[in-house]
Amino acid sequence: MLEGLFNEESDVGTTSSSTKNSPEGCKPSDSSLPPPRLPCGLAGIQNQGATCYMNALLQSLLYTPELRKALFQLDQTELGRLEDRSKPGAKVRVIPIQLQKLFARLLLVEKQCIGTQELTDSFGWTNNEELQQHDVQELNRILFSAIEDSLIGTSGQSLISQFYHGNIVNQIICDECGRISEREEDFLDLTLAVAGYAGVTDTLESYYVTKERMEGDNRYRCERCNKLVNASKGAKLRSLPQILTLSLLRFSYDFNRGQRYKEMGNYTFPLELDMSPYCEKTSSSDTSIYELFSVVIHGGSTHGGHYHAYIRDVDGLGTWTKPEDEPIQLPKKKDNTDSDPVGVIELNSPEEILALLLRQHGGPQCTMGIDELCQALCRETGVSWNKRFKKQHGPINKFIKQHNEMFTFATSTNSVSLKDSIIAVNEKSSSEAENEAICKTVENSTGEQNHRNNSGNQDTRNDTGNEEVTGGAVEATNDAVASCDANNTSVGTNKGRGVLCCEKHRASGDRTLLQCAKCRAERTKSTNDLTSSRGKCWFDFNDARVHPITAKAIDRQFSGRESAYMLFYRSKSLYRPLEAQCNKLHGIPEWLLGEMQKENEMLEKQRLEYEAAINRIELVILQSHHYVYNRGALHPRPSLDSTPKKLGLDRRKTVEELITDIKMLLEDKGIGDDAICLHIGKQLPAGLHLFNSISEDMSATLQSLGLADGKQVFVWDGKQVDGMPIRTGEKCEPVLLNITFECHEKNISTNQQNGTKQIQHTFPKDCTLNEIRAMVSVLTDIPARCLLLSRVSSKPVVLETIDNAKTLEELKLCDHDSLVAEYQRDTGTSTSLAEQETEKQNKMVTFTVENRCAASLTATVDWPTQQVQIEHDKRIDELKLVILQKFNLAADKMMKRVCRLRVNHDTLGLQAPLYEEETISSAGLTQGTEIVLEPGRPPKNNQITLTFSAKSGELSLTHEVTVERNITVGECLQIFLERANISSDSYHLRRTNWCHEPAGVIVDVDATLEQENISNGDFLIIEEGRLAPRGFVFLSIWLYPSPDKGQNSPADQNGVVSKITTLLSGLLLSKETTNGHSDNDIISDDVTQGALLGEIEISLDATVEDLKIQILTLKPLDELTLPTTDFLRVRLIENKRLTKVLKEYDQPLKRLKVTRFTQIAVQVLPEEEELKANSIVLNIFQRIAQTRTYTPIEELTWEAGKAGNPDNLRQMIADRMLIPIERVAIAKHLPEKFEWLVINSTAQGSPSRGKGKKKGSRTHHVNLKHAPYHLKDGDLIGIKDLQFDSLNQDDFTTEDDDIGKEHLRLMAEEKRLKRREMKKNNSSWHEKGGGKGSKHKEKRPECSLAIHVDDFRTQAEQT
């Protein structure tokens, strides 16, 4: 009925708690380095998937000063040490220790958010519990109970009751005699109904002031009057806790409509609550007056939602600024060159934010839809436009239209884009320059408005009636307090981004330390004004993000979809000492301070290393004497080895230092002090071109000049190259154009085809169309007055003479664009040549071809590639001929026959070779497809190419074979075996899925490949194992030693046991008998070892008796003389352990669920055995006193009967072990978990559930064959004699169990890390919940919320 009640509707299956409210979920930067704290100075908590409910509660507990102090006062002598947890007998109170460490990290570690994996591990959450949604009110009770259980026997055992427990007294007062009947009960939190009430005081009035009349049929039987009387019934609060918790019943169930719903009506709660009217004894002191300090909020509906908390910073540990002035952080893009070590950019104004978002997510044109832009804003920053900017700037559409100097708004598409002047800033690769340009534009466009806003806010007061405040504001004599104060202080002008500082130090950019007495005096004056407001600042703790809010924001949580769910009040009488104010170090023990200091030092080291790494660049140094200037661009000099040199350095270096490093790299060859000039070069289709100079300002840093990794730096004298002056800069960037024209001279041989010729020529970008006409006229011998130029694209476009003054850039002509030059015939129309070229261009497709037929290459050199153009209706063999011509291989006739083409897919890799008779379009080749030319004969139309994998030793080798389409599966298998050099015929074929994982077995070996739907390019697997005929199976038979029954073992009259022992030893040691599979043919379990006897083929309709008879025919057993098959026990092997005994001799194997994957174990017995259906074959061993070891294992056959009585089993074990039954303790071993399940007595008390029965308990009979024991064949039973171990009756663990648990823990941790990485990288993970377009969400199965705590009661009692 309550399924999915607390699901997080925005975030099913993601790591962040809510796409709406907590987008990044403490998403690390691209380097996986955790970002530093937000400007408020308070840390958030990372959401593990669906733990927002826990995060909100933990933050509320952290900022409860009294609880935080009491928890930190528990030292390691009481709680133990985590490193001692694995020691035998150690009692380490893990949950309180992990809470201490988490609270210390939240206070001191310099991260934006802290993880809770260690805490949830201490809860015993190992089965993805962090992905299950739960109720915060339920967690509050369970967590407090776990803390109480963990602190038993310590000085903090009353910690929870001291702060949170109160008492309610329920009273019934007789009207006649005045007798008062009382019943007192404790409470951890007060549950208040929301439906039908106006607010908290209204509900409390109804619960604890208004009395219920018991009259008429509802009269009360008074014990003193001994009759039914009228009475008054009511409740009062007898004692109040120091911390009052109120849980609001927001969720209800409508029985009429059969569905649950959330109460969203208005329900008020005060900031200050007087509880004296509801107490049994009224008091006028502050003990009954409470101040609100935490509001846990649930946003959503009954079907899903998200938790976060509004918390008042009682001790002033954070830095409060006006919410609208708080800087917003945007994560950097991967290619961002900003030197910020944690990958974030701080922005203040909405113009800056929108502009940067359009840059990062708007594509080349910086264009996004309004809805898409709003989603990006919320996803990247964690704030929405409506909540942060709408009140001050209005709706986003209106805001964008007002700032038309920056943005262009398209009404038809409801999209926004950056102006061209703003997009031009992208040419600067430094994000520092990018932001500077944006901010400058914003400043120019909105300076007057900002001036008005600033002037109007000079004496601004926040919504609480206090001046703008900060968490750190007091001058303390204590050094720790002063240190904390310096870190927390963020008061001042400039929108709260720095301390009050003089102009000198404000200009220096140092915002963390006070530099002079003037600054300190200004700060002291400001902090004295703010002292009265300390402790009244509110923050919104929303998973990873923490940001300031005003007190008015709390009023918005009275009603609606997002509304208050839990309230935490603190007694006004509680006093906070002065040394605790603004001091995050207060009360934290020394050992924790040491750990936090080490963690911060490690973080600082990582950030420094990261900063050095992201600033490390490698430049390509090009020397001028290696190049010649030809056709408008630089080209390598053919006669010289022009391999460029690479220089690695820090981009924070200056140009002067760069020149010094270049001189050292080039060893001063040909470089003089007066003649060196550096330009940034870029390889273009036309050749190398030099852009902006970087050697004009020798003091400029490489970062400010936009130098990034891989940039080319050209070293020259700044005047000429190879004796020729060259132009530099973007304006003269060379553009390579294709020019097609008619040939009229017979001596033209180059590219002559159908009377046309095509050449390539380079033009500078600032060249005008008139200059192009003149150059084309010279190149084509067409007089300029007769020349008609047309541009070829989807249709021919004539370049009119009216555009002669336009440049290439204005005409938007780019590299590889095509021009057609011809004689002018009909004015204003395209000629037939242009139309022919256009039609030809439209039929052309371009491929990237990689030549793997080239000579052997070194590992550092890639295969040669070429761009190939061809018409799409050509055949593959024609495409191959064009490719061979491109690589100058067409003259080799043999190459045409022994090479083939195949597609290299981006995701699936190399595909099957292409059929040469197919056309390009029918083969599915499209524009931009990557094609590989490789050695090998191309397949014919009646052939298919298959890839298969065969295991050879530890390696899986992959082969490719071309076979006929119409051969059978068996013939194909034989071809595969021959190719893989496998001589055995005991193999079969298996299909694979799209990612080459094993799928279905191909059973019918006589069917053809076409009948089995095996097509060209399929991937198959060769697996060992001959397939049995239909209705039969091959079973592996393993020989195990005869069972040891201890003192009850029968005499070996015929020497059968000794023969089996000898035979088994020989099988284990002989490599010949094991058929060469020495390691794989030995199965080990907890009892003994078994060896492979062989394999039999048997019908699934055969009985167990038939199976035994056939087993006796195997060669190793044919030497034994057994009177009947009753001397043979057959059982299954599961997970390398002996399990079920096959007792039903007349049952067919298929009814016993025997399949071809089943492994059979056989044991030869010294006597006949006829087991009943209810018999269970168990393995037992006894624990050796004062140790963690056991005696050798024995076998016990227990006649369980239908009842499965545990006392029956205990009595049988007592008789076997000769121990009085009252001293016997037994437990079942759970090998998968390395745990022990203690088996209790037959009768256990349980509450009575039947109506009308007497109160009390009833007897519940335990059946060991049912839950939770499920006792079955092969289970291992541990036995303890309580005479020697009376204190630890339930401890059956061994050292192997400890090792196994540690292994499971490491595997779970590895799985968690892998899952976290998958969530981060795999987009399909986020689609499990259905995504935006889905109609239905995937509902997760509910699981109970539980925290597992070790038992400390016994230790406390001993103490």
Following DSSP, what letter does each residue of 330-364 receive, concatenated?
Answer: EEPPTT-----TT-EEEE-SHHHHHHHHHHHHSTT
Place of tokens 């002079």: 516
Give the separation between CA 1064 and CA 1074, rounded to whole angstroms. Answer: 11
Report whether 1266 contacts 1204 (CB < 8 A): yes
Query: Is 107 exposed, middle or buried, given 0-12, 13-18 or 19+ CB atoms closer than 10 A?
Result: buried
Reply yes or no on whether the pLDDT at 474 is more than 90: no
Band of residue 1354 on the pLDDT scale cut at 50, 70, 90: low
Q: What is the pLDDT of residues 206-260, one digit of tens each?
A: 999 999 999 989 999 998 899 899 999 999 999 999 999 999 999 888 888 888 8
DSSP-H helix ranges across 200-322: 200-208
Say what the pLDDT of residue 620 is. Answer: 92
Lowest-confidence region among 172-176, 186-190, 517-521, 1238-1242:
517-521
Query: How many CA atoms lie within 13 Å of 900's alpha carbon, on the beta-carbon side?
Result: 20
Task: Decide if pLDDT at 1202 tops 80.
Answer: no
Across 974-1018, the runs of DSSP E, i.e. the strands, are 987-992, 998-1001
| Catalytic residue check, 306 | yes
For residues 529-535, give the mean pLDDT: 56
Who wins on pLDDT, 1096 or 391?
Answer: 1096
* CB-CB contact of 1228 with 1276 (8 Å): yes
pLDDT in tens, 257-270: 888 888 989 999 99
Supply the pLDDT for residue 1058: 67
Please report the pLDDT score of residue 1088 as a whole number: 47
Judged by average pLDDT, the poorest of 304-313, 334-343, 1204-1213 is 334-343
Highest mean pLDDT among 17-31, 344-358, 524-538, 928-942: 928-942
CB 711 within 8 A of CB 620: yes
pLDDT at 423: 56
1199, β-bridge pairs: 1175
d(CA 1289, CA 584): 46
**Is the four-CA dihedral 214, 216, 220, 226 of positive or negative sign?**
positive
436-465 tens-digit pLDDT: 434 444 444 444 344 333 333 333 334 444
Dist CA 27 CA 331 (whole Å): 9
Would you call 252 helix, strand, or coil by DSSP?
strand
Average pLDDT rounded to a whole number, residues 996-1014: 85
What is the pLDDT, as a whole number, of residue 69? 93
Cis peptide before 1268 (omega within 30 of 0): yes
996 catalytic per annotation: no
The rounded distance, in Å, linking the Cα atoms of 209 and 205 is 5
| Mean pLDDT within 154-168 | 92
Nearest alpha-carbon partner for 320 in 38, 68, 580: 38
As a whole number of angstroms, the distance between CA 811 and CA 735 comes to 12
pLDDT value for 98? 93
In this prediction, residue 508 carries a pLDDT of: 42
Confidence band, pLDDT 50/70/90 cuts, at residue 603: very high
Q: Averaged over 313-337, what is the pLDDT?
A: 71
What value does the mean pLDDT take over residues 1259-1268?
78
899 vs 439, more confident:
899
Q: Is the pLDDT of residue 141 over 80?
A: yes
Instruction: Give me the percent of the chain exceeding a pLDDT of 90.
Output: 29
Give tens-digit pLDDT for 122-132: 998 877 788 88
Mean pLDDT within 1170-1189: 89
Tell whether the model's pLDDT for residue 794 goes beyond 90.
no
Q: What is the pLDDT of residue 939?
A: 92
CA torsion angle 1248 1252 1255 1261 (round to 10): -30
Identify which of 518, 588, 480, 788 has the alpha carbon closest to the alpha carbon of residue 101.
588
Nearest to 761 by CA among 737, 741, 779, 790: 737
Q: How far apart are CA 354 and CA 356, in angstroms?
A: 6
Please choose, from the candidates 374, 453, 367, the residue with its C-alpha nearest in 3D space to the C-alpha of residue 413. Answer: 367
Q: Which residue, chain included where needed, has tokens 């308070």? A: 42
Return the pLDDT at 536: 85
Which residue did the predictor score with more confidence, 435 or 166? 166
Strand partners, 968: 1008
Question: How far, in Å, CA of 996 to CA of 908, rounded?
Answer: 10
Q: How far is CA 1012 from CA 664, 666, 965, 1002, in A?
A: 68, 66, 11, 8
Q: What is the largest CA-CA distance in the chain?
A: 135
**Reported confidence tier of residue 844, pLDDT bands at 50, 70, 90:** confident
Q: Is the pLDDT of residue 858 over 50?
A: no
What pLDDT does residue 843 have?
Answer: 80
**pLDDT tier at 1155 (50, 70, 90 boundaries)?**
confident
pLDDT above 60 for 1115: yes
Q: What is the pLDDT of residue 1158?
A: 85
Q: Who has greater pLDDT, 742 or 690? A: 690
Question: In terms of pLDDT, which residue wins out, 9 or 269?
Answer: 269
Q: Residue 165: is its pLDDT beyond 70?
A: yes
Residue 23 DSSP code: S
Residue 326 bridge partners (DSSP): none
Nearest CA to 538 out of 547, 549, 553 is that of 549
Catalytically annotated residue among 52, 378, 743, 767 = 52
Q: Are 171 and 233 in contact (CB under 8 A)?
A: yes
Per-residue pLDDT at 1113 exceeds 70: yes
For residue range 989-998, list pLDDT tens digits in order.
Answer: 888 887 778 8
112 pLDDT exceeds 80? yes
Looking at every residue in the chain, the average pLDDT score rounds to 78
pLDDT band for position 568 (cuts 50, 70, 90): very high
Cβ-proximal residues to 1115 (8 Å cutoff; 6+ apart), any chain: 1094
pLDDT reading at 1228 higher than 50: yes
Burial 367-383 (b: 16+ CB within 10 A, else e): bbebebbbbbbbbbbbb
Element (H, E) at 657: helix 655-666
Determine which helix (DSSP H) or strand (DSSP E) holds 536, and give its type and residue range. none
Among the listed residues 134, 165, 298, 306, the single catalytic one is 306
SS3 track for 56-92: HHHHHHHCCHHHHHHHHCCCHHHHCCHHHCCCCCCCC
pLDDT of 907 strictly over 70:
yes
What pLDDT sits at residue 1064? 63
Rounded to a whole number of angstroms, the CA Rg of the chain reads 41
pLDDT band at 119 (very low <50, low <70, confident <90, very high): very high
Contact 491, 523 (CB under 8 A): yes
Task: Give 27's pLDDT tier (boundaries 50, 70, 90).
Answer: very low
Q: What is the pLDDT of residue 273?
A: 93
pLDDT of residue 230: 92
Q: What length does the chain have?
A: 1359
Is 677's pLDDT higher than 70?
yes
Above 90 in pLDDT, residue 1121? no
Element (H, E) at 174: strand 166-174
pLDDT-wise least confident of 382-386, 498-502, 650-654, 1340-1344: 498-502
Residue 914 CB contacts under 8 Å (≥ 6 apart), including other chains: 876, 900, 901, 902, 903, 923, 938
Place of tokens 């003149």: 774
User: What pTM value is reported for the model?
Assistant: 0.59
Residue 432 has pLDDT above 50, yes or no: no
